[in-house]
Amino acid sequence: MKSYSMKKKILRIIYHIFTFCFAVIMIYPLLWMVLGSFKDTKEIVQNAGKLLPDTFRLLKYREGWRGFGGISFAVFFKNSFIISGLATIGAVVSSSLVGYGFSRCNFPTRGIWFTCMLISMMLPFQVIMIPQYIMFSKMGWIGTYLPLIVPSFFGGGFFIFLNIQFIKGIPKDLDEAAKIDGCSIYGIYFRIILPLIKPAIVTSAIFSFMWKWDDFLGSLLFLKEPRQYPVAYALKMFADPTAGSDYGALFAMSTLSIIPIFLIFVTMQKYLVEGIASSGIKG
């Protein structure tokens, strides 16, 4: 018994050592970028393998915040919040409503539309970006935020599927009781379903905001004016490969760009784990 207990402790120690080493490997590039935001370009290039800077230069954040072309990063951050915020609202509202329809409503061609929704999850953006660009160009939307925001108001395959799986875990007896009390289909959705799928909604909001915040390709395709750029695109334009780039300032703005995602994840982690776990178990 004693030898078994000792063996268990040794295995636990080995497990924690392995986990710690793996965590260091995973977080090292991020830590290198954050500490690199306090270095100048010469120190970054010449001492790339050195983690800690010789001198912490907070001035890099001020230099980076000035942006380029007379446009500060305050404008780029504002653009990112506008695009990500509106797109997230559209994705959450539409996906929960469509998920409710698939889960609770029987209608003709339901199976066909569900199959189309699943197929849409398998198509990468690179496959549909040319047809989308042609369509939005004919609609006169190129050079505006509409191509980046409006499609989110028509649902997303992943978010719809997430809500479907979560709603399937809610007993239908609640729907029947609500119908007896006089609730319509929409009344059941707003009064019964929505309060109970809060983890799925928060999970959808987190992923939608994160994906839109990091969306570079969409901005590259549909936006023309530098004053319209979000942070993801502005960071690419800030590093000019044809001229000298201030990598310290670039890392400083990159560090600031991950703070909103980090704060959202830390504050909403409980709902994120619950939403993913519940949607995977139930149904």
Tell me what the pLDDT averaged over the chain comes to.
85
Is residue 83 pLDDT above 90, yes or no? yes
Query: Domain boundary residue among 16, 41, 62?
Result: 62
Residue 43 and residue 171 share a domain: no
Residue 133 and residue 45 share a domain: no
Contacts 24+ apart (CB under 8 A), 73-78: 73/231, 73/234, 73/253, 73/256, 75/227, 76/229, 76/230, 76/231, 76/233, 76/234, 77/231, 77/256, 77/257
Residue 115 and residue 244 share a domain: yes
Residue 126 and residue 80 share a domain: yes
Residue 253 and residue 179 share a domain: yes
Residue 209 and residue 182 share a domain: yes
**In this predicted model, what pLDDT tens digit does every residue of 253-265 receive, in sequence order?**
999 999 998 888 8
Is residue 278 pLDDT above 60, yes or no? no
**In this predicted model, what pLDDT tens digit does every residue of 167-188 receive, in sequence order?**
888 888 888 888 888 888 888 8
Q: What is the pLDDT of residue 282?
A: 44
Residue 79 and residue 19 share a domain: no
DSSP 8-state secondary structure symbol assigned to residue 191: I
Residue 194 and residue 138 share a domain: yes
Is residue 281 pLDDT above 60, yes or no? no
**In this predicted model, what pLDDT tens digit does every residue of 218-229 receive, in sequence order?**
999 999 888 999
Query: Domain boundary residue among 44, 62, 80?
Result: 62
Q: Which residue has the higher pLDDT, 59 or 154?
A: 154
Give me the domain span that covers residue 33: 2-62
**In this predicted model, what pLDDT tens digit does every residue of 125-177 receive, in sequence order?**
888 889 999 999 999 999 999 999 999 998 888 899 888 888 888 888 888 88
Residue 76 and residue 50 share a domain: no
Contact 225, 207 (CB under 8 A): no
Q: What is the pLDDT of residue 2?
A: 60
% of the chain exceeding 90 in pLDDT: 26
Residue type, 275: G
pTM for the predicted model, two decimal places = 0.84
Residue 108 and residue 72 share a domain: yes
Q: What is the pLDDT of residue 137?
A: 93
Residue 208 and residue 80 share a domain: yes
pLDDT band at 280 (very low <50, low <70, confident <90, very high): very low
Distance separating alpha carbons of residues 258 and 30, to the nearest angstrom: 10
Residue 14 and residue 111 share a domain: no
Domain count, the chain: 2
How wide is the angle at C-alpha 95 spanned by C-alphas 91 and 96, nearest 5°?
120
Distance separating alpha carbons of residues 47 and 119, to the nearest angstrom: 48
Query: Domain boundary residue among 39, 62, 85?
Result: 62
Residue listed under structure tokens 């990500």: 84
pLDDT band at 273 (very low <50, low <70, confident <90, very high): low
